Amino acid sequence: MPSSAESPNASDTENVNKSRVFDIAPDFIGSYVQSRPAAGPNPFGNNLPTRPVPKKSDAIINSTESKLSPLGNSELALADKYSSPDVYIDGEKDTCWHPFTDNLEWKPMRFETRTGTFVLVLRILEDTWLGKHRHRGSVSAVTLKGQWNYKEYDWVAKPGDYVVENPGTIHTLHMTKGTKVVFTISGSLEFFHDDGTLKNTMDIFSYAHLYYEHCKKQRLKPNDGLWY
């Protein structure tokens, strides 16, 4: 397993020359929006829909395929009354990509305040090393496209691979051009300077703030239906 001073593919010098290296600045959250270009034509229109969520039982009542028994229907009615509703998010119409760095974009899919869990899709426009960071909650990831890895580990995730990162984990993320990954993140992330001192801490509200500021800048109505 490579040490923290080694690259999994080539020398550090070669990687730095070929990649964009990113560290989150302390004032990143407040300043990145102002540095973006003025809003232009938007493929999503002026609004992102907030779709009303039907009751679970409504989906069964309107289905010709369901074979639920009377007991099943009764249990479903109880779930309607006491559980959280099922949610469907259209990845093209209900949310949008927006910048996180010059060559990294992300799309929010869920903000859940009871556990501090949020789900996002991350995609990379150029080969990139991200700054060293530590997780204070658990993280899971499913690779949709491309390859990604951590400087400190010996594996490389490819499409279809699944990764779990536990609280206390600290590592340096590398993603190749065109990579797309779905991350489910709980708790906060701490980003560090090269000397190990803390640079910034981000959690569900930090990422939500970026999304809402982006929508404001682009004259989009944020989709409050992402909170559930």
On whether residue 83 sits in a domain, the answer given is no
| Residue 3 forms part of a structural domain | no
Long-range contact set of residues 125-128: C-beta below 8 Å, sequence gap at least 24: 125/177, 125/178, 126/19, 126/20, 126/177, 127/18, 127/19, 127/20, 127/175, 127/176, 127/177, 128/19, 128/20, 128/21, 128/22, 128/101, 128/103, 128/104, 128/174, 128/175
DSSP code per residue over 113-161: TTTTEEEEEEEESS-EEEEEEEESS-EEEEEEES-EEETTSS-EE-TT-
Q: Using an 8 Å Cβ cutoff, are 89 and 95 in contact?
A: yes
**pLDDT tier for residue 33 given thresholds of 50, 70 and 90:** very low
Residue 129 falls within a domain, yes or no?
Answer: yes
Structural domain range at position 144: 104-221
Name the pLDDT band for 62 (thresholds 50, 70, 90): low
Q: Is residue 228 part of a domain?
A: no
The tens digit of pLDDT for each residue in 152-199 reads: 999 999 999 999 999 999 999 999 999 999 999 999 999 999 899 999
CATH of residue 195's domain is 2.60.120.10
24 occurs within a structural domain: no
pLDDT higher than 50, residue 77:
yes
Pick from 211, 191, 203: nearest CA to 25: 191
Q: Is residue 52 part of a domain?
A: no
Domain count, the chain: 1
> Is pTM, for the whole model, over 0.85?
no
Q: Is residue 171 part of a domain?
A: yes
Instruction: Please check whether residue 191 lies inside any domain of the structure.
Output: yes
pLDDT (tens digit per residue) in 84-106: 878 889 999 999 999 988 789 99
